[in-house]
Structures are given as structure tokens and as C-alpha cells.
Amino acid sequence: MNESHLKFLASPEWAATLETDLWPWIETVGDLGDDVLEIGPGPGLTTDLLRRRVPRLTAIEVDASLAAPLRQRLEGSNVEVICTDATRSGLDSERFSGAACFAMLHHMPSPDDQDRLFAEVNRVLRAGAIFVGTDSRDVDWIRAVHADDIFVPADPDTLADRLARAGFVDTVVEVEDYQFRFVTRKPTGS
Ligand SMILES: C[S@@+](CC[C@H](N)C(=O)[O-])C[C@H]1O[C@@H](n2cnc3c(N)ncnc32)[C@H](O)[C@@H]1O
């Protein structure tokens, strides 16, 4: 991530937006349960949001320069930080009661990588568990924020089909001005 983007994602303004905007939405779409997976915590403000509300959280971050300080900051808490590529997490199948990825899909190099992530999240979720996420739409000012950075926004119009191919059902995608949110579910008994 470029420096200004990183600075914003570690800012009190972003933390406040997560509290007032993101968490209330999560509460309306489902229950993440007692053993939750977060993909792409970055500086960790979304991790803080989740860890205060769930008993156990595992955060997977591929960038070692972000994973290491987050692990250090959260040592002794209810969070385990793993530094690896979440498309091949190595975590146990059917372990997690819920999963979340916020503002991370567009940081993956290609749609194929995003599809591999969806399949991996499906693998590690329990039957019936939800997967929630938010991500950027392809708008000019967000593209500009990602100058010299990866920016591969997912198309909200095709997201439900892509999640279905990864094994998810009951997908709901809400499209807003500059972002979209989704909730989807691993089928019960699959
Ligand atoms: C823009 S940050 C989002 C941070 C945080 N979720 C938030 O909303 O404030 C996206 C993060 O996803 C991470 N990421 C990208 N691809 C990943 C992958 N394959 N596995 C794990 N993390 C990944 C990036 O390194 C980056 O830290």
C-alpha cells in the first residue's frame, strides 16, 4: 500500500467510520460466531473492531511489514495474526464460524486470485457460516488513491455468481456510491 493510503487506514477517522458505519451493518446481516477469520487486516483497525466483539479472531495478512507489528501489538489478546497468503492459508477445513474481509479484495493482483480466496474461505468455514465483506468500486478518486499500488476492483454485478462458483449461497450485495458490501453463506450441511 502507498504511504497516504496506509496512513488513512490507521487513522482515528477510519476507526470512527468502522464503528459507526461498518459494525452496525454487520450486526444487521448475521452473526459471525465464536471463532472468526479476518482476511487482510492491514494496520489492524478492522481487527480492533472485530476483536472487541468476538471471542476468538484469526487475522491473515500477507504483508510481513504489516503482520509483524500487528502481531506484536495484539500479543496476549484474543487475536492470532498469521502472515501468509490467504488463498492458501493452511488452516483447518470447516474450522471458522464466520469470516470477513474489508477493503482487501482490490489489493489482490487478479480476479483469479480473488476467486481462489473465495474458494479458500469456503473451505475453512463451517456449514452455515457467513462471510461478510466490503470493497471499493471502480471510481476515479479511489483509483487515484491507489497510484503505484495494486487496484483490481471486483465488479459487484458479478460477485454473487463468483461466490456461487466458490460454493456460497444466499449472497446479498449492496452497492453504494464508492463501495459495495456483501454477505454470503456456506450452505448448511455441505
Ligand atoms: C487496504 S488493506 C485493508 C485493511 C483493513 N481491512 C481495513 O479495512 O482497514 C488490504 C490488506 O489486504 C492485504 N492482502 C492483500 N492480499 C492478501 C492475501 N492474499 N492474503 C492476505 N492478505 C492480503 C494487504 O496486504 C493489505 O494489508
Condensed to tens digits (0 to 9), the pLDDT of residues 123-151 reads 999 999 999 999 999 999 899 888 888 99
Q: What would the mean pLDDT of 44-51 be, rounded to a whole number?
A: 98
Separation of CA 90 from chain center: 17
pLDDT of residue 145: 85
Size of the chain, expressed as the number of residues it contains:
190
Q: Which residues line ligand 1 (CB under 6 A)?
A: 1, 9, 39-42, 45-46, 60-63, 66, 85-87, 102-104, 107-108
pLDDT of residue 189: 73
DSSP labels, 142-156: HHHHTTTS---PPPH
pLDDT of residue 102: 98
Residue nearest to atom 14 of ligand 1 (CA): 40
Cα of 29 vs centre of ligand 1, distance in Å, is 22
- Residues whose CB is less than 8 angstroms from the CB of residue 115 and which lie 6 or more positions away in sequence, other chains included: 162, 165, 166
pLDDT of residue 2: 81
In this prediction, residue 116 has a pLDDT band, given cuts at 50, 70 and 90, of very high
Is this model's pTM higher than 0.75 or not?
A: yes
Cα of 189 vs centre of ligand 1, distance in Å, is 30
Residue nearest to atom 17 of ligand 1 (CA): 62
Q: What would the mean pLDDT of 107-111 be, rounded to a whole number?
A: 97
Cα of 149 vs centre of ligand 1, distance in Å, is 12
Q: What would the mean pLDDT of 68-97 be, rounded to a whole number?
A: 98
Query: To which residue does cell 488452516 refer?
Result: 91
